[in-house]
Amino acid sequence: MNVRIKIDGLTYSYSYDENDAVHDVSFEVNEGEFVGLIGPNGSGKSTVLKNIYRALTPDKGAIFLDGENLLKMSHRKTALKQAVVGQENDVPFNFVVEEIVAMGRSPHKKLFDIDTAYDKQVIRHALEHMGMADMAKRNYQSLSGGEKQRVIIARAIAQESSIFLLDEPTNHLDISYQMQIFDLIKRLKVTVLSAIHDLNMASLYCDRIYVLKDGKIVLSGTPEEVFTPENIFNVYGVRCSVEKHPITGKISITFLPEEIIKTHSVVDKPLGGNA
Amino acid sequence: MTLGKKIISLKSCFNREEPNMPIIILILAIAAIITMIIATGLGPVTVSPDKVAKILLSQIPGIGNNVAVTWERLEQNIVLGLRLPRVFLGMVVGASLAVCGVTMQALVRNNLADPFILGVSSGASAFATLGMLFGAFSFLGQYSLALSAFIGSAVTIIFVYMISRVRGRVNITQLLLSGVAVSTIMEGLTSIIKLSAPNALGLHNAEFWMSGSLAGAKWAYLQLPFVVLVVCMVFLMINYRGLNLLLLGDDNAGALGINVRRFQKFLILIASLTAGVAISVSGRIGFVGLAVPHSTRLLVGGDHRKVLPVSALLGGIFVVWVDVAARMIIAPEELPVGILTAVIGGPVFIWMLKRNTMAKR
């Protein structure tokens, strides 16, 4: 399979912290895959993604996009290959939805280019895909969190890049919006690397998963391979039971509070039990 | 068309969602020309607008000879020698300050940024006073005042910008406070420079200049600010997409193909140039960079392709009219125009600050 993103020994530390935020991380994302990055808070998920989308520059190691060294590429060229949906999506000034989506066209534009009929068409399609076509003229600031997120993804679609980097794209959203957003992204048939907070979401949507803990990759594999009660206890320190869900065919994780385990007669089962 | 219909169609032009840009620009350009003709006539000696128009027409080669001379020599001298350069200067300074405000607001992602509030004006004054009173920058020749003001603005912007960035993001509290701190330092420096001034005449000139006035306008003062304004405006218009992207935050702007660090350096340069040069010819005229871009965004939304030309025109028109007021209110004495803009702009700032903090909740 065709390797789209290759990360080789990535190490990064923030200036205010003497420990490495990310230490010697290596992994690959192949064409058409939906790859999840999971791990506890502060494990380095965002840091890895920020290094890939060049908000941060690696201290050590290298990142390759389609075999080309990321740091040797122009910012514009990187933007043509990968679209980013980050966590910070506030816009401090008045913009209508359409204008925000139109910003996704920027990397396609040279200095004196104006917006063409094709640009307008791409913008309209992107909004339609996200079910936001009738909100094109609304003020972005007046939208709800879920609507804003859909606009930002429409912007990424308008960018026409075949790699999507998502940094917890469904954070703080209702479950209906979470499902909707992952469904819509999945339907795009693009290569995705996404940091995901919710393990069940990761299990539902990811082809492969990398688990980060304290800035290092500790586990990797398919959701079935990664999500075992032992692994989850080792990484997150919580007990759970997992089973293959009869309808989705995916691993479904149920977390078990300490209080319930204490009073439960069969203590061993949740730890070792599997479908 | 009835008047009612006209107002409705005008409203649809200035619709924030879908402003009709060619018409807005046309209306503002006509307003700017009318403003210049009327404002040129107004003052202690009033010249009627039609005379002003005729005097101006008579100066245009080719058609000038066909205009019948119906005015007095004195009126022509007042119009061409005193008022017109002053009105032009008002236009250029107003536009520069508005464009500087827009640039700084994109740079710090906040609509409360303004050269006056963030201490850039104080920085420019401090360096300019140093140049005026001690000739510190005399090796720069005839542009020494403009260049020293530019250096002052650049130093302040870089200073304020660096202090207000906390973990890669501009924090608004930090921004306003560092603006206060830096402008206090710069004011202090200015006082020290003034107190140790070697001659009284220079001191008097510096004082008058600093209070912000267009009164000393001469044709020779216009060249540099005009060229700087045009060059900066062209650069910004070419890069309007970049300015828009910057509002999404550094990370997003980078992900959308902008070299953020390099672009921000350009913007610091542009903001310092426009502020420094405007201040060097007019002293400190505050709040134009705040109030004008804000009103512009209420009219046409936040897209810089629209915001830049509209705020430049509005800024020019605004400063020219405030300057008319400055020379009419206590005529034949004059108020420094900077005092009037402060009286108007201060409340606007307070209102915006109030609204901003309410929106956060």
Which comes out higher in pLDDT, residue B311 or A1?
B311
Domain that holds residue A52: 3-226
Count of Cβ atoms closer than 10 Å to residue A156 Cβ: 27
**At residue B247, what are phi and psi to the nearest 5 degrees?**
-65, -20
Q: In this predicted structure, what is the pLDDT of residue B311?
A: 95
Sign of the Cα torsion A114, A115, A119, A121 reads: negative
The answer to whether residues A133 and A257 belong to one domain is no
The answer to whether residues A122 and A166 belong to one domain is yes
With an 8 Å Cβ cutoff, is B354 touching chain A?
no
Give the pLDDT band (50/70/90) at residue B356.
Answer: low
Contacts of B239 in chain A (CB under 8 A): 111
Give the pLDDT band (50/70/90) at residue B114.
Answer: confident
- Could you give the CA distance from residue A78 to residue A243 in angstroms, rounded to a whole number? 40
Q: In this predicted structure, what is the pLDDT of residue A59?
A: 93
The answer to whether residues A48 and A182 belong to one domain is yes
To the nearest whole angstrom, how far is the Cα of B34 from the nearest Cα of chain A?
Answer: 30
With an 8 Å Cβ cutoff, is A16 touching chain B?
yes
SS3 A233: helix
Among chain A residues, CA nearest to B235:
A111
Interchain pair B251, A80: CB under 8 A:
no
Q: In this predicted structure, what is the pLDDT of residue A266?
A: 52
Among chain B residues, CA nearest to A136:
B17
With an 8 Å Cβ cutoff, is B358 touching chain A?
no
Among partner residues B238, B241, B250, which is closest to A106 by beta-carbon distance? B241
Which comes out higher in pLDDT, residue B345 or B38?
B38
Q: In this predicted structure, what is the pLDDT of residue B9?
A: 57
ipTM of the complex, rounded to two decimals: 0.85
Interchain pair B303, A95: CB under 8 A:
yes
- Nearest 5°: CA angle at B3, between B1 and B8? 90
Residue B228 has pLDDT above 90, yes or no: yes
Average pLDDT of the segment spanning A103-114: 87
The answer to whether residues A263 and A148 belong to one domain is no
Interchain pair B255, A89: CB under 8 A:
no
State what percent of residues in chain A have pLDDT above 70: 95
Residue A44 has pLDDT above 80, yes or no: yes
- Give B67-79 pLDDT, tens digit per residue: 777 788 888 888 8
Give the pLDDT band (50/70/90) at residue B168.
Answer: low
Among partner residues A16, A86, A112, which is closest to B252 by beta-carbon distance? A86
Non-local CB neighbours of B223 within 8 Å, separated by 6+ positions:
none
Average pLDDT of the segment spanning B123-127: 88
**Among residues A188, A209, A226, which one ends one of the domains?**
A226
Interchain pair A112, B248: CB under 8 A:
no
The answer to whether residues A127 and A75 belong to one domain is yes
Interchain pair B252, A76: CB under 8 A:
no
Which chain A residues in 159-198 lie under 8 Å from chain B, judged by CB atoms?
159, 165
- Could you give the CA distance from residue B308 to residue B314 in angstroms, rounded to a whole number? 10
Residue A268 has pLDDT above 80, yes or no: no
The answer to whether residues A50 and A161 belong to one domain is yes
Give the pLDDT band (50/70/90) at residue A270.
Answer: very low
Give the pLDDT band (50/70/90) at residue A210.
Answer: very high
Number of H helices, E strands in chain A: 11, 12
Give the pLDDT band (50/70/90) at residue A116.
Answer: confident
The answer to whether residues A213 and A237 belong to one domain is no
The answer to whether residues A180 and A98 belong to one domain is yes
* Nearest alpha-carbon partner for B98 in B275, B223, B246: B275
Among partner residues B17, B258, B303, which is closest to A75 by beta-carbon distance? B258
With an 8 Å Cβ cutoff, is B14 touching chain A?
no
With an 8 Å Cβ cutoff, is B252 touching chain A?
yes
Among partner residues A79, A90, A95, which is closest to B257 by beta-carbon distance? A79
Q: In this predicted structure, what is the pLDDT of residue A275?
A: 39
Interchain pair A91, B18: CB under 8 A:
no
Structural domain count, chain A: 2
Q: In this predicted structure, what is the pLDDT of residue B359?
A: 55
Interchain pair B256, A79: CB under 8 A:
yes
Report the amino acid identity of residue A170.
Answer: T
HSE on the CB side for A133, CA within 13 Å?
Answer: 9
Which chain B residues in 281-300 lie under 8 Å from chain A, judged by CB atoms?
297-298
Domain of A122: which CATH number? 3.40.50.300
Contacts of B259 in chain A (CB under 8 A): 74-75
- Give B39-62 pLDDT, tens digit per residue: 988 887 788 888 888 888 888 877
State what percent of residues in chain A have pLDDT above 90: 64
Interchain pair A92, B247: CB under 8 A:
yes
Q: In this predicted structure, what is the pLDDT of residue B90?
A: 93
Give the pLDDT band (50/70/90) at residue B150.
Answer: confident
And the tokens for B83?
A: 């008022």
User: In this structure, are residues A31 and A1 in contact, taking their beta carbons and an 8 Å threshold?
Assistant: yes
- Please report the domains of chain B, with CATH numbers, ordered by start residue: 85-360 (1.10.3470.10)
Contacts of B113 in chain A (CB under 8 A): none
With an 8 Å Cβ cutoff, is B167 touching chain A?
yes
- Could you give the CA distance from residue A241 to residue B73 in angstroms, rounded to a whole number? 98
With an 8 Å Cβ cutoff, is B247 touching chain A?
yes
The answer to whether residues A152 and A239 belong to one domain is no
Interchain pair A111, B247: CB under 8 A:
no
Residue A1 has pLDDT above 80, yes or no: no
Best of A90, A103, A155 to mutate (most B CBs within 10 Å, chain B): A103
Give the pLDDT band (50/70/90) at residue B292.
Answer: very high
Contacts of A78 in chain B (CB under 8 A): 257
Among partner residues B239, B255, B297, which is closest to A93 by beta-carbon distance? B297
With an 8 Å Cβ cutoff, is A111 touching chain B?
yes
Which chain B residues in 34-93 lie under 8 Å from chain A, judged by CB atoms?
none
Which comes out higher in pLDDT, residue A57 or B145?
A57
Average pLDDT of the segment spanning A115-128: 91
To the nearest whole angstrom, how far is the Cα of B89 from the nearest Cα of chain A?
Answer: 30
Average pLDDT of the segment spanning B210-218: 76
User: What is A128-150 written as a DSSP string?
Assistant: HHTT-GGGTTSBGGGS-HHHHHH
User: In this structure, are residues B274 and B99 in contact, taking their beta carbons and an 8 Å threshold?
Assistant: yes
The answer to whether residues A107 and A198 belong to one domain is yes
Mean pLDDT of chain B: 83
With an 8 Å Cβ cutoff, is A95 touching chain B?
yes
Q: In this predicted structure, what is the pLDDT of residue B352?
A: 78
Instruction: Give bridge partners of residue A209 from the DSSP assignment.
Output: A36, A221
Q: In this predicted structure, what is the pLDDT of residue B231?
A: 96
Among partner residues A75, A77, A104, which is closest to B254 by beta-carbon distance? A75
Contacts of B252 in chain A (CB under 8 A): 84, 86, 88-89
Using CB atoms within 10 Å of the CB of residue A271, give its burial: 0 to 12 exposed, 13 to 18 middle, 19+ buried: middle
With an 8 Å Cβ cutoff, is B249 touching chain A?
yes
HSE on the CB side for A68, CA within 13 Å?
Answer: 9
Highest-confidence segment of A74-83, B65-74, B323-332? A74-83
Among partner residues B16, B259, B297, which is closest to A75 by beta-carbon distance? B259
State what percent of residues in chain B have pLDDT above 90: 25
The answer to whether residues A98 and A61 belong to one domain is yes
Residue B325 has pLDDT above 70, yes or no: yes
Interchain pair A112, B302: CB under 8 A:
no
Residue B4 has pLDDT above 70, yes or no: no
Residue B249 has pLDDT above 80, yes or no: yes
CA distances for A251 relative to A202, A227, B48, B236, B352, angstroms:
10, 7, 85, 53, 52
Average pLDDT of the segment spanning B87-91: 93
Element (H, E) at A79: helix A75-81
With an 8 Å Cβ cutoff, is B356 touching chain A?
no
Q: In this predicted structure, what is the pLDDT of residue A6?
A: 95
The answer to whether residues A217 and A241 belong to one domain is no
Count of Cβ atoms closer than 10 Å to residue A142 Cβ: 12
Average pLDDT of the segment spanning B250-268: 89
To the nearest whole angstrom, how far is the Cα of A104 from the nearest Cα of chain B?
Answer: 7
With an 8 Å Cβ cutoff, is A83 touching chain B?
yes
Among chain A residues, CA nearest to B298:
A94
Mapped to the 3 state alphabet, what secondary structure does chain B carry?
CCHHHHHHHHHHHCCCCCCCHHHHHHHHHHHHHHHHHHHHHCCCCCCCHHHHHHHHHHCCCCCHHHCCCCCCHHHHHHHHHHHHHHHHHHHHHHHHHHHHHHHHHHHHCCCCCCCCCCCHHHHHHHHHHHHHHHCCCHHHHHHHHHHHHHHHHHHHHHHHHHHHEECCEECHHHHHHHHHHHHHHHHHHHHHHHHCCCCHHHHHHHHHHHCCCCCCCCHHHHHHHHHHHHHHHHHHHHCHHHHHHHCCCHHHHHHCCCCHHHHHHHHHHHHHHHHHHHHHHHCCCCCHHHHHHHHHHHHHCCCHHHHHHHHHHHHHHHHHHHHHHHHHCCCCCCCCHHHHHHHHHHHHHHHHHHHHHHHHC
Give the pLDDT band (50/70/90) at residue B11.
Answer: low
